[in-house]
Amino acid sequence: MSIVVTGATGHLGRFVIEGLLEKVPADRITAVVRSEEKAADFAARGVRIAVADYNAPETFDGLFSAGDKVLLISGNEFDKGRVAQHKVVLDAAKAAGVALLAYTSAPGSLTAALADDHRGTEAAILESGVTYALLRNGWYNENYTENLAPVLEHNAVVQAAGEGRISTASRADYAAAAVAVLTGEGHENKTYELGGDTAFGFAEYAAEVAKASGKEITYNAVPGDVFEGILTGAGLPAPFAAILAGVDASIEKGELVVTTGDLSRLTGRPTTPIAESIAAALKG
């Protein structure tokens, strides 16, 4: 029986593989990647490497075996039909008779367009009859802390989220939850709503950045269309800018506040505070 992780060299996937290596022998872990070179460090540690691509269904033929536990990390190619991509993995997993298919989804409360692909994938998983675990990951600390350069340059946090609050956690936290599900028992056909222990608003976020950087940072709440214009002006494709503005509209409505405590319960530790991630990012 293998534990198989797709998207294994992505930001989240790397944390998952590292976490698995602490719990199970390397030869029981399969990292599914598009580029073998990017996984050379894992291969050197004894992890099995499989080269496959969500856009090429035949590459998943024979990749899974009966009894495997699989983590399907959602794709990030928003323009390529993510539900169809995910179904490639789902179909191969079902055909092989895997013991569990875990999927990194989005909070059930999220109505933004970003959630559409996740809801579509969840529906396909439920319809398939495979034994599943839905890991509905909230927003990541790093979604903000990896974009501190413009904040520090303009002395402002600019979002279209009004006074909305959000429960973020670090990538490492969400990865640890996935590891707990893949290596533990009793997670069959469960849905977990995952998010940080403490919600914050962007005025508080700006204050934390100010405290950590020693600069005066303010929160500048702008309308959604203005935010989209700022993002496209910074070089983001218009469709993706619209998705991010949609997420901010959902934050304003409170849709990314997660109060279940599922994440810290699964990992057995408190989630990473945003202040800690800010400090780590500024140390860089």
Asked if the model's pLDDT at residue 80 lies above 70, the reply is no
Q: How many CB atoms lie within 10 A of CB 153?
A: 8
According to the model, what pLDDT value does residue 254 have? 97
Better-predicted residue by pLDDT, 51 or 79: 51
The rounded mean pLDDT for the chain is 96
> What confidence tier does 231 reach under pLDDT thresholds 50, 70, 90?
very high
pLDDT digits (tens, 9 = 90+) for 31-60: 999 999 999 999 999 999 999 999 999 999
Please state the pTM of the whole predicted model.
Answer: 0.96
Residues in Cβ contact with 168 at an 8 Å cutoff, skipping those fewer than 6 apart: 138, 139, 140, 141, 143, 144, 195, 196, 200, 274
Write down all domains in the chain, each with its CATH number in brackets. Answer: 3-137 (3.40.50.720), 138-170+195-258+272-283 (3.90.25.10)
Q: In terms of DSSP H, where are the helices of the chain?
A: 11-21, 40-44, 82-96, 114-128, 142-145, 148-154, 171-183, 202-213, 224-233, 238-252, 262-267, 274-283
Which single residue is written with the structure tokens 């909070």?
107
Among the listed ranges 51-55, 185-189, 218-222, which one has the minimum average pLDDT value?
A: 51-55
Whether 78 has a pLDDT exceeding 80, the answer reads no
Q: Which two tokens stand for residue 231?
A: 């993002």
Q: For residue 172, is pLDDT > 90? A: yes
Check pLDDT > 70 for residue 190: yes
